[in-house]
Structure formats: C-alpha cells, structure tokens
Amino acid sequence: MAKQKKTTERDKLFDEKRSLIENFNFGKATAQVFDDMLNRSVPFYGEMQRMIAEMCGDFAVEGTNLYDLGCSTCTTFLHIDQSVHPGVTFVGVDSSQEMLNKAKQKLTKAGFKRDYELVCGDINKGIEINNASVVIMNLTLQFVRPLYREKLIQSITRGLKDGGCLILIEKVLSEYSVLNRLFIKYYYDMKKRNGYSELEIAQKREALENVLIPYHFDENRELLLNNGFKGCDMFFRWYNFCGMVALK
C-alpha cells in the first residue's frame, strides 16, 4: 500500500536564496505549508485558538452566523466547534481558493458535521456580513490595505447583532522605537528557536514588507470605536502580537 502523503508539509518556502523576492501571497505553495507556518511563526498560537474558542462559546448565539474573515485552512473552525452551540452556522471567507480547497479537505477528514459555508472573496473589495453574533479576524486585518480598513469594519458592525463581538488578533507596532526594535528581535529569536534560519527570516520579512501593514494598538482601537463598536479591550499580548475583542 502506498504511503499516504501528509496533508501539511514543513514550511520551506524561503529556505533557498532568491535573487528576487516577490510579494508574499497565499497561493498553492503557501496553502500546502500554511499550518506548519502558523504553528512555528505565531507565538502561543494554540493558546490563542483556545482563548478564541472560549469567547466564541459565550458570544455565539443559536440561529446566527459566525464569520472567520481570512479563514485560510479553517484551523479555527476545528478549534472552536465543540465550544459553540450546534445551531450556529460557520462562514469562512478567504481570497485564496487554494486555502479554501485545503480547508475543505481538512474539515472533511476531521468529520466536521456543523453547517458551514466557504466563500472565496477579497475583503479589500468589501464583504457583506449577515446575522452575525461573532466575527473573527485572526492575523487578517493587517493584510487589508489601510485605505479599505474603515469600510471593512463598518460592514462588520452593520452585520453584527447587538451583543455580538469582533475577535481581532494582529501584529502591532509600539509607539516607542526602541521597544519596537526589541519586540521584533524577540519575535525573530522565537522563529529561530522553531527552526527558521536567518535566510528564511530575512527573505520572508522582505516578501511581507509591502503586504503586511501593522498599526499601533491605539490605532486599531480607535478604528473599532469610531466605526460602530461600543467597547474594546485587549485579551492577549506577546511583544508585537495583540489580541483584541470589540463589543457591538
């Protein structure tokens, strides 16, 4: 019998020297290694997923929708499924069809029984949110062009029911340059501990330079409060990574 191929490969996207570094994208090559990339690149990724599941369990309401914008391979759906009422429909939105193909494969393999929908769409161009009690953006808003962020948050608040929430996790900037440099250094040290080389870190940093545009925490908070949310608080912080929850 032929050996079954792993559904997730080790991230080696940037392990060879490139003469030209193109902008980072979420196509087929990235989708194939994305789960490994997240586990090795995002500090306390498993703990953040556990915290998201806890909050979803308290905010998601039977008969409503739960949206994951930038759902990638739907790891979050698998983490939160047991915490959320079975009468909640999950809606995953991603601009990469390759990511959604991977997500469908994972959900099917896991025997995922909940009603769900996967939508291929670019949230830079707008997204319609309907009958939502929870919206999740896990390391997603930072990839939305700043010009479109206000409009996106407005569409989320319009589609959220009163009492609902937005769970937002982002890389953030410090207002103090010395801390900003140190936090980035500590982050790259973490990536080295997880097996990434100096070359991989440097080449991925260059690929992300014009694609991932982080805000300061206060900028994100003001964006939320100025566009329909009545409150916002921080639930997670690790150097330059920040989790926020905003209340409708």
How confident is the model over 15-30, as a mean pLDDT? 86
Q: Given this model, what pLDDT does residue 221 score?
A: 98
Q: Given this model, what pLDDT does residue 18 score?
A: 82
Q: How far apart are CA 189 and CA 3, in angstroms?
A: 36
Q: How far apart are CA 2 and CA 87, in angstroms?
A: 40
Q: Given this model, what pLDDT does residue 22 score?
A: 87
Q: How high does pLDDT run on average in the chain? A: 94
Q: Residue holding tokens 């545009």?
A: 213
pLDDT digit string, tens, across residues 186-216: 999 999 999 999 999 999 999 999 899 999 9
- The answer to whether residue 75 scores a pLDDT higher than 90 is yes
pTM of the prediction?
0.94
- CB-CB neighbours of 22 under 10 Å: 8
Q: How far apart are CA 124 and CA 128, in angstroms?
A: 12
Q: Given this model, what pLDDT does residue 7 score?
A: 52
Q: Residue holding tokens 């996207």?
A: 13
What is the percent of the chain with per-residue pLDDT over 90, rounded to a whole number? 88
How confident is the model over 74-103, as a mean pLDDT? 97
Q: What is the CATH number of domain 28-247?
A: 3.40.50.150
Q: Strand 89-94 to strand 116-120: parallel, antiparallel, or no bridges (unpaired)?
A: parallel
Question: Domain ranges in the chain?
Answer: 28-247
Q: Given this model, what pLDDT does residue 8 score?
A: 66
Q: How far apart are CA 170 and CA 215, in angstroms?
A: 8
Residues 6+ apart with CB under 8 A from 202: none
